[in-house]
Chain A
Amino acid sequence: MDPFLLEALVNGILLGGVFALPALGLNLVFGVVDVVWLCYAELVMVGMYAVWFLFTQLGWPLPLAFATCLPIVSLLGIALHYLVVRPLLSSPPINQVLATGGVLFLLQGAMTLVFRTEFRSLGVDMPPMEVGEIFVSGTKLAAFCAALVGAAILWAFLKYTYVGTAIRAIARDREVMPLMGVDPQRIYLIASAVGGALAGLAACLLVVQLDVHPFVGLSFGPITFMICVMGGLGNMLGGFLAAFLMGIIVSVGGFWGTTEFSYVVAFGFFIVTMFARPRGLFAR
Chain B
Amino acid sequence: MKDLGTTRRGLLQSGAGLAAGALTLPATVARAQAPARGGDPLRVGVMTDLSGPFAGAGSQPLFWGAEVAIEMFNAAGGVDGRPVQAITADSQSKADVAINEAERLLGQERLEVVTGIYSSAHAVPLSGRFEQSKKMMWITSAIATAVLKDKNFRYVFRPTVHSDQYGEGSVSMIHEHAQAKLGTAPDKVKLGVIYEDGPYGTGVSSAIEANAKQRGMPIVLKEAYAATAPDLSTLVTKLRRERPDVVFQVGYNPDITLFLRQAKSGGLRFKMLIGHGAGWSQIDRLTETFGADVNHMCNVDPAATQMLDWSKLGPGVGDLAKAFVEKFQAKHNLRDLPPHASMGFNNTWIFLEHVLKPAVRKTGGMTADALREAALEIDIPTGGTIQGYGVKFAPPGDAMAGQNQRSIAVVMQFDNGKSRVIWPTAIGVPPVLPLPAGHAFAAR
Contacts and interface: CB of A to CB of B under 8 A. Distances in A.
Interface in A244-270: 250-252, 254-255, 258-260, 262-263
Nearest to B254: A211
B264 interface: yes
A260 B235 CA distance: 10
Contacts, number: 116
B53 A125 contact: no
Interface string B351-388: 00000000000000000000000000000000000000
Given A117-B56, A220-B230, A254-B235, A214 B51 contact: yes
Interface extent on B, as a size class?
Answer: 35 or more
Nearest to A113: B51
B228 A117 contact: no
Interface stretch (B283-291, B301-309, B414-422): B283-291
Contacts of A15: 230-231, 233
Interface stretch (A135-143, A146-154, A174-182, A196-204): A135-143
Interface string B419-442: 000000000000000000000000
A210 B56 contact: no
Interface stretch (B21-29, B114-122, B237-245, B311-319): B237-245
A209 interface: yes
B85 interface: no
Given A137-B266, A211-B289, A219-B228, A259 B234 contact: yes
Contacts of A112: 51
B262 A255 contact: no
B153 to A, nearest CB: 30
A157 B50 CA distance: 44
Contacts of B267: 128, 130, 135
Interface in B160-198: 197
Interface of A: 4, 7-8, 11, 15, 18, 108-109, 112, 116-119, 121, 123, 125-126, 128, 130, 135, 137-140, 209-211, 213-216, 218-220, 223, 250-252, 254-255, 258-260, 262-263
Interface of B: 50-53, 55-56, 60, 93, 197, 223-226, 228-235, 237-238, 240-241, 253-254, 257-258, 261-262, 264-267, 285, 288-289, 291
19 contacts: A109-B51, A117-B50, A117-B51, A118-B56, A119-B254, A119-B289, A121-B288, A128-B266, A130-B267, A137-B262, A138-B265, A211-B258, A215-B53, A223-B230, A251-B234, A255-B238, A258-B223, A259-B232, A259-B235
